[in-house]
Chains A and B, each alone.
Chain A
Amino acid sequence: DTEVTQTPKHLVMGMTNKKSLKCEQHMGHRAMYWYKQKAKKPPELMFVYSYEKLSINESVPSRFSPECPNSSLLNLHLHALQPEDSALYLCASSQDYTSGGYEQYFGPGTRLTVT
């Protein structure tokens, strides 16, 4: 199974809502990533988890809160978002993180709209 799954596919939320994005992989990968992609721009790295520990936080606002409950699951908790946070949120995993030579497997993304 080389699939990374993400739920939900689409999410519309108000600025006062709390919601969560979920990502799952069963490839035994020990690194998982969250990226944000705005229209006509490249994916931008938000967070990296390595062996279930947060390794990189690219100065992401605290209204985004990642969580890695186990090696297969990665969540992104959302609270008090702004309309400019509307984007495609991609999850990815790779065999390892500290060694950059491993390809990343991406999920299909969650299309988030903040109203």
Chain B
Amino acid sequence: ILNVEQSPQSLHVQEGDSTNFTCSFPSSNFYALHWYRWETAKSPEALFVMTLNGDEKKKGRISATLNTKEGYSYLYIKGSQPEDSATYLCAFNMYSGGGADGLTFGKGTHLIIQP
């Protein structure tokens, strides 16, 4: 059973502050690490897919880093806005045989931005 851990489980942040949270995953047989944002009553939305150690990706005020050797990824949000309130899920693809195995999700970090 793969273990994908996310911390913290929930986070309250003041509007305008920056924040970050962590995803840890098995460092062996790594294939890809995904981040998704899931707002209430909506579909999970892909933020990033990272495949290489040292990858850094950015989309607007949100960025992510990847360390496959030690098995962690950070998601950063700069200048939080109320619309950033959501659950942020990370998901891990393990290498299996000739390609990737299915995604294993963490439990998510529930982020609430307070005006």
Q: Which of A's residues lie within 8 Å of B, judged by CB? A: 4, 33, 40-45, 48, 56, 58, 90, 92, 97-109
Contact = CB atoms under 8 A, between A and B. Distances in A.
B49 A45 contact: no
Contacts of B105: 42-44
A104 B93 CA distance: 12
A104 B102 contact: no
Contact of B46 (A41, A99, A104): A104
Interface residues of B, number: 27
B71 interface: no
Interface of B: 4, 31-32, 34, 36, 41-46, 49, 51, 89, 93, 95, 98-108
A103 B34 contact: yes
14 contacts: A33-B103, A43-B105, A45-B103, A92-B44, A97-B100, A100-B31, A101-B49, A101-B100, A103-B34, A103-B46, A104-B46, A106-B43, A106-B45, A109-B43
B108 to A, nearest CB: 6
A43 B100 CA distance: 18
Contact of B100 (A33, A99, A103, A106): A99
